[in-house]
């Protein structure tokens, strides 16, 4: 394990240190229409047996475009009430005891991911996702990359877990297709209701699976950082609380995120200083030049939202926590200086949903619970997402709020 000091934060990781691409070079990678730089892409079955990387990407981009229609405000709001019920159940389940915030909120985010994609009561999917995530962790935790044909136990376990998840999801898709609903309640309903540009069964399974994994832990980590910052910034927390309290008093809930502008700015500022996806990658689809570097075909280029978000070339007082910067013209001078969700053709599909989940959950935590952070010296640790390791807290329900 080696460590490096960035600003006054010590980041620890296991030996490979990325060079810091600036906003312009990172922007070139992010905006590339897959000609020079491409991202790793989910594979869809069917079509020619041996697909070129360009064909794999084209197939995914088609599915992705259809997926955008499912990631809309309607799907987000349908999920909002269930999301808050799940947050309250998670918090009340702690019984005001001291808990690991990361473990608690990762569990909550896993439930959210499944709820958004498939609705409630999907214990079989939850078990299959947990199994697949556990074996994937063992593979990605290694510094070596293992091809899928290598007969190692951990590779075979991954293949089996993926096949099991695919079969579980396929059963759900078939059941839902056979018995469609009038009012879509989740992503799967919305994807199946799309009759203008219908997706095949395999495409639906791949898209749902991509969303399940992409949203499996990042919102939980982001929320854990929000809890961390609530304790570290009492004045800003008081403003979040006042805003959430006013909305809750007026409407009986905090579901209307359009009335939480300061909370939204607080969340954006947390994602600036602590982007869960702190490192991103593209590979060169052909030999190319990037700034001062000659890049060979298939070489990986790595860049860091964490470093971009703290670069004094584009941020005034980058190490300061200032939600106000999102209300004034103090936003970054470079359009690729703020990329917690990536950017360009492969930008996060769940960006609007994630922001909604975080703003509303932050407001609910502030107004519904007295939060006492009991740990100190929490270090941002890449695991591989940026994690507040060691963060512990007690969440005590405030009287008179949770009955609403």
Q: Which residues are annotated as a binding site?
A: 348
* 384 vs 29: CA distance, rounded Å: 21
What single string gives the DSSP state of each residue in 145-187? ---TTS--HHHHHHHHHHHHHHHHHHHHHHHHHHS--SS--SH
Give the footprint of ligand HEM on residues 289-308 (CB under 6 A): none
* 358 vs 354: CA distance, rounded Å: 6
CB of 340 to ligand HEM, least distance (A): 5
Closest-CA residue to 67 (of 132, 120, 32, 116): 116
Of residues 353, 365, 366, 391, which one binds ligand HEM by CB under 6 A?
A: 353
Query: How many other C-beta atoms can be found within 10 angstroms of the C-beta atom of residue 383?
Result: 15
**Token couple for 222:** 């982001």
Give the footprint of ligand HEM on residues 54-83 (CB under 6 A): 64
Of residues 30, 101, 102, 361, which one binds ligand HEM by CB under 6 A?
A: 30
Contacts of 319 (CB under 8 A, 6+ apart): 7, 8, 310
Closest-CA residue to 117 (of 46, 214, 257): 214
Q: Is 219 in the site for ligand HEM (CB under 6 A)?
A: yes
Closest-CA residue to 116 (of 259, 216, 200, 44): 216
Of residues 348, 363, 367, 393, which one binds ligand HEM by CB under 6 A?
A: 348
Q: Is 347 in the site for ligand HEM (CB under 6 A)?
A: yes
CB of 250 to ligand HEM, least distance (A): 27
Q: 316-345 mask for ligand HEM (x: CB under 6 A)?
A: ------------------------xxxx--
Q: Is 192 in the site for ligand HEM (CB under 6 A)?
A: no
Of residues 26, 203, 211, 304, which one binds ligand HEM by CB under 6 A?
A: 211
| Chain center to CA of 325 | 23
Q: Identify the burial level of 250 via C-beta atoms within 10 angstroms of its C-beta, where 0-12 means exposed, 13-18 middle and 19 or more buried.
A: exposed
Of residues 224, 280, 290, 360, which one binds ligand HEM by CB under 6 A?
A: 280
Q: Is 285 in the site for ligand HEM (CB under 6 A)?
A: no
Q: Is 220 in the site for ligand HEM (CB under 6 A)?
A: no
Smaller CB separation from ligand HEM, 247 or 353: 353
CB of 50 to ligand HEM, least distance (A): 22
Q: What is the binding site for ligand HEM (CB under 6 A)? A: 30, 39, 64, 116, 210-211, 214-215, 218-219, 222, 276-277, 280, 340-343, 346-350, 353-354
């Amino acid at each position: 394990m080696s460590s490096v000091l960035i600003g006054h934060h010590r980041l620890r990781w296991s030996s490979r240190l990325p060079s810091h691409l600036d906003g312009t070079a990172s922007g070139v990678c992010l905006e590339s229409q897959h000609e020079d730089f491409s991202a790793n892409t989910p594979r869809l079955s069917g079509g020619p047996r041996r697909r070129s990387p360009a064909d794999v990407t084209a197939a995914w981009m088609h599915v992705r475009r259809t997926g955008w229609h499912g990631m809309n405000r309607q799907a987000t709001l349908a999920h909002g009430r269930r999301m808050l019920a799940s947050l309250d159940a998670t918090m009340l389940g702690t019984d005001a005891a001291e808990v690991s915030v990361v473990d608690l909120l990762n569990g909550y985010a896993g439930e959210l991911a499944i709820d958004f994609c498939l609705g409630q009561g999907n214990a079989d999917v939850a078990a299959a996702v947990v199994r697949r995530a556990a074996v994937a962790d063992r593979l990605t935790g290694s510094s070596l990359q293992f091809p899928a044909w290598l007969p190692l136990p951990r590779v075979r376990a991954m293949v089996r877990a993926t096949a099991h998840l695919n079969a579980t999801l396929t059963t759900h898709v078939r059941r839902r297709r056979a018995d469609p609903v009038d009012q879509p309640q989740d992503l799967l309903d919305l994807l199946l209701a799309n009759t203008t540009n219908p997706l095949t069964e395999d495409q639906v399974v791949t898209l749902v699976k991509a969303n399940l994994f992409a949203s499996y832990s990042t919102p939980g980590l982001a929320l854990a950082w929000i809890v961390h910052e609530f304790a570290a910034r009492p004045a800003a927390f008081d403003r979040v609380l006042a805003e959430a309290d006013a909305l809750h008093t007026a409407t009986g809930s905090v579901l209307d995120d359009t009335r939480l502008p300061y909370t939204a700015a607080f969340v954006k500022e947390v994602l600036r200083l602590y982007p869960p996806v702190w490192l991103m990658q593209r590979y060169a689809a052909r030999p190319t030049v990037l700034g001062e570097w000659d890049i060979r075909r298939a070489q990986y280029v790595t860049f860091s939202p964490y470093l971009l978000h703290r670069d004094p070339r584009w941020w005034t007082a980058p190490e300061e926590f200032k939600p106000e910067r999102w209300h004034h013209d103090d936003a970054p001078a470079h359009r690729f200086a703020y990329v917690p969700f990536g950017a360009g053709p492969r930008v996060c599909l769940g960006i609007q949903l994630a922001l909604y989940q975080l703003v509303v959950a932050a407001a609910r935590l502030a107004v519904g619970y007295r939060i006492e952070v009991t740990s100190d010296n929490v270090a941002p640790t890449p695991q591989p997402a940026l994690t507040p390791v060691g963060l512990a807290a007690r969440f005590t329900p405030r009287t008179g709020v949770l009955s609403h």
